[in-house]
Amino acid sequence: MASTFRLSISFLTLLLFSLWVVEAHTSRKLISIKENEGQDISHLLKDGEFDDPSLYMYFTPNDLKLGTKLLIYFYKSDLQKLPPLLTRQQADLIPFTKSKLDFLLDHFSITKDSPQGKAIKETLGHCDAKAIEGEHKFCGTSLESLIDLVKETMGYNVDLKVMTTRVMVPAQNSISYALHNYTFVEAPKELVGIKMLGCHRMLYPYAVYYCHGHKGGSRVFEVNLVTDDGRQRVVGPAVCHMDTSTWDADHVAFKVLKMEPRSAPVCHFFPLDNIVWVTK
Instruction: Output the DSSP codes for 10-69.
Output: HHHHHHHHHHS---SS-TTPPPPPP---S---GGGSGGG--S-GGGTTEE-GGG-STT-E
State the pLDDT at residue 79. 66
Strand 266-269 to strand 69-73: parallel, antiparallel, or no bridges (unpaired)?
Answer: unpaired
State the pLDDT at residue 28. 33
| 86 touches 207 (CB < 8 A) | yes
- CA-based nearest residue to 263, from 238, 245, 276, 279: 245
Residue 31: HSE in the Cβ half-sphere, 13 Å Cα cutoff? 24
Q: What does each of the 280 residues of the chain score in pLDDT, given as a tens digit?
A: 444 444 445 555 555 544 543 333 333 334 433 333 333 434 334 444 677 898 999 999 999 999 999 999 998 777 677 898 899 999 999 999 999 999 999 999 999 999 999 999 999 999 999 998 888 999 999 999 999 999 999 999 999 999 999 999 987 778 888 899 999 999 999 999 999 999 999 999 999 999 999 877 799 999 999 999 999 999 999 999 999 998 899 999 999 999 999 999 999 999 998 999 999 8
Amino acid at 109: S
The sign of the CA dihedral 91, 93, 97, 100 is: negative
Q: Can you tell me the distance from the alpha carbon of 169 to that of 271, in angstroms, rounded to the nearest whole number?
A: 17
How many residues does this entry show for the chain? Answer: 280
Q: Can you tell me the distance from the alpha carbon of 63 to that of 119, in angstroms, rounded to the nearest whole number?
A: 32
Q: Can you tell me the distance from the alpha carbon of 116 to that of 123, in angstroms, rounded to the nearest whole number?
A: 11
State the pLDDT at residue 178. 87
State the pLDDT at residue 15. 57
Q: Can you tell me the distance from the alpha carbon of 32 to that of 34, in angstroms, rounded to the nearest whole number?
A: 6
